[in-house]
Amino acid sequence: MKAINDHHWESVRHHFPEENPRLRRNGRKPVPSRYILDAVLWVLNSGARWHMLPKHYPNYKTVHRRLQQWCHNEGLREVLIRFAHELKSEGLICERKCKIEQMFGR
């Protein structure tokens, strides 16, 4: 799976709560949600385990933790499932390998 294109990102970006860094916060800046979503979709499409996430994606622990935070919000879970089904219908996610409902706790 290629990274999601700008059209797809614009259609879902408003559903993703960006982490708001506190003023004068030390440490790393949060990884943008688009990069996290790209990594989640790679795992979803490949059927691979989290620790197998290629190095060009954010750290797999970060990706998995953010996905858990997103799925805690039921509305966002529905957005993720709908979006994954849309990508699947466009042929951007492999239907044979894809486990949409399993990934999102269905």
Extents of the domains making up the chain: 31-103
DSSP string, the chain: -PPPPHHHHHHHGGGS----PPTT--SPPPPPHHHHHHHHHHHHHH---GGG--TTSPPHHHHHHHHHHHHHSHHHHHHHHHHHHHHHHTTSS-TTT--HHHHTT-
Q: Quick check: pTM over 0.85?
A: no
pLDDT (tens, 9 = 90+) of the chain, 106 residues, equals 567 888 888 888 888 766 555 555 677 778 899 999 899 888 877 888 999 999 999 999 999 998 888 878 776 677 777 777 787 788 777 666 665 555 555 5
